[in-house]
Amino acid sequence: MEKIIEEYQQKFARFLGAERAFVFWKGRVALYALLRALDVGQDDEVILPGYTCVMNVNPIKYVGARPVYVDIEPDTFNMNVNLLEEKITNKTKVIIAQHTYGYPCEMDTIMKIAQSSGICVIEDCCLALGSKYKGRMVGTFGRAGYFSFQWNKPYTTGLGGIVITSDRELAGRIESLATNEMCCPSNREVFMLRMQLIIYRLFIYPGTTALAQSLFRYLTKKGAVIGSSSTSEFEPVKADDFFKAMSTVQARSGIRQLGKIEKNIAHRRKIMQLYDELLVDRDWKPSKDSRKLAEPVMVRYPVRIAEKEEALAQAAKAGIELGSWFECPLHPIETPLASYDYELGMCPEAEKAAREAVNLPLHPRTSEKTAVKTVEFITGFTYS
């Protein structure tokens, strides 16, 4: 194995306080490796929140298992643990605890329910790097945790994914799967990735001018910027080269950013607190108010408004960086829900959140001035 890959894996594992880390081309590939290593297959059921992205559901379908969706709890946007037990059957093999927007799930309850039924918990930390629950890093509660480094995650290496675990047997299985089945990215893919990283540095966080913002939106729509999903990934059919390794370009970039992680986290915390205060001042309740057990490091700051469509349209014109996840229970909206075993009405709170939630930036280039401007903009709409 390349030295730089090994170095990244060791540094990442150490930061999280896990024994081992394994890197992959994308976060979804990390989940796939994990499901395979856990021997999840035909007829097994995997429980996850009905407020996620479809790329998170594909690996479940790829291994032949069935996704089972739990509705969310409206304050935290995380799995409603009161609805978890009724979803468990004798086919349930895995529960995916997704820490949505970076806010930690109720891990005590999830672990207790899982342990009493002999089910394995894995944690989706793609939006939650550095978040803690009862003083401990998320990703270290379940048998394993996985992370993503796609362009709108806590930090980006263009694309990228990592599994962490302290379970030696599981680590051994992931290692042998990687040795036997994983393919390498092609030269063209690595070249594209390098270009994307350059474009990312130029264009990301285009809060500065309306022109940059709309150009960015246009390019993203056209798939020219960091197109992280191909259209074939909106149906549950696995491509031959899906199970792909991380390139050294990504690992090198990851090591650099991991070196700046404390600063990144401190900044996210500071801006989050500023949003809390500004929204309280305007009688807009912060969307999360039970911050006692949880010390979140949020990736974006969710707010609910009545006029979501209108706000997104106006934000684009005004150069306000307003995000919109998830736009349907299995983001993005084009997804044919039926082929992913989802029926409208299954998770009413998730569907409501999809209609109402927008999110405010917290990334390292969000200045306090931007935060104030963003709150002024968003509070011009109606709190929902």
Please name every residue paired with 300 in a beta bridge, in sequence order, or none if there are none: 361
**Window 19-38: contact mask with ligand PLP (x via CB under 6 A):** -------xxx----------
Distances (CA, A) of 295 to 24, 76, 151: 28, 13, 23
58 contributes a contact to ligand PLP by CB under 6 A: no
Please name every residue paired with 383 in a beta bridge, in sequence order, or none if there are none: 305
Task: Specify the residue, 47 or 53, whose C-beta has the smaller distance to ligand PLP.
Answer: 53
> Whole-number minimum distance, CB 377 to ligand PLP, in Å?
24
Which of 48-56, 172-180, 239-247, 367-375 is the region at the interface with ligand PLP (rule: CB under 6 A)?
A: 48-56
CB atoms within 10 A of CB 173: 18
> Whole-number minimum distance, CB 127 to ligand PLP, in Å?
5
Task: Specify the residue, 106 or 124, whose C-beta has the smaller distance to ligand PLP.
Answer: 124
- Which residues have a Cβ under 8 Å from the Cβ of 229 and sit 6 or more positions away? 55
- Which residues have a Cβ under 8 Å from the Cβ of 6 and sit 6 or more positions away? none
Which of 18, 48, 127, 138 is close enough to bind ligand PLP by CB under 6 A?
A: 127
List % helix, strand, coil for the chain (3-state, nearest 5). 45, 15, 40
Q: What is the C-alpha separation between 50 and 40, in angstroms, rounded?
A: 20
> Whole-number minimum distance, CB 253 to ligand PLP, in Å?
14
| Nearest residue to ligand PLP on Cβ basis | 27
Task: Specify the residue, 56 or 196, whose C-beta has the smaller distance to ligand PLP.
Answer: 56
Which of 120-128, 173-181, 270-278, 368-376 is the region at the interface with ligand PLP (rule: CB under 6 A)?
A: 120-128
Which of 53-61, 236-244, 256-264, 337-345 is the region at the interface with ligand PLP (rule: CB under 6 A)?
A: 53-61
Q: What is the C-alpha separation between 98 and 79, in angstroms, rounded?
A: 7
3-state secondary structure 304-346: EECCHHHHHHHHHHHCCCCECCCCCCEECCCCCHHHHCCCCCC
Which of 9, 140, 150, 359 is close enough to bind ligand PLP by CB under 6 A?
A: 150
Q: What is the C-alpha separation between 40 and 60, in angstroms, rounded?
A: 8
Q: Which residue has the tokens 């935060």?
A: 371
Which of 98, 264, 335, 359 is close enough to bind ligand PLP by CB under 6 A?
A: 98
> Whole-number minimum distance, CB 266 to ligand PLP, in Å?
22
Which of 156, 228, 253, 359 is close enough to bind ligand PLP by CB under 6 A?
A: 228
> Whole-number minimum distance, CB 122 to ligand PLP, in Å?
11
78 contributes a contact to ligand PLP by CB under 6 A: no
> Whole-number minimum distance, CB 159 to ligand PLP, in Å?
6
Which of 121-129, 174-182, 253-261, 269-277 is the region at the interface with ligand PLP (rule: CB under 6 A)?
A: 121-129
Q: What is the C-alpha separation between 51 and 98, in angstroms, rounded?
A: 9
Question: For residue 295, what are its two tokens?
Answer: 């010390």
Number of residues forming the site for ligand PLP (CB under 6 A): 15
**Window 159-198: contact mask with ligand PLP (x via CB under 6 A):** --x-------------------------------------
55 contributes a contact to ligand PLP by CB under 6 A: yes
> Whole-number minimum distance, CB 55 to ligand PLP, in Å?
5
Which alpha helices (H) appear in the chain, and where do they start and end? 3-16, 27-37, 58-62, 107-116, 168-181, 187-203, 210-222, 248-258, 261-281, 308-318, 348-356, 368-378
Task: Specify the residue, 157 or 375, whose C-beta has the smaller distance to ligand PLP.
Answer: 157
Which of 76, 148, 247, 287 is close enough to bind ligand PLP by CB under 6 A?
A: 148
CA torsion angle for 46, 49, 51, 56 (degrees, to 10)? -30
Q: What is the largest CA-CA distance in the chain?
A: 57
Which of 16, 47, 52, 279 is close enough to bind ligand PLP by CB under 6 A?
A: 52
Please name every residue paired with 92 in a beta bridge, in sequence order, or none if there are none: 45
Binding site for ligand PLP (CB under 6 A): 26-28, 52-53, 55-56, 98, 124, 126-127, 148, 150, 161, 228
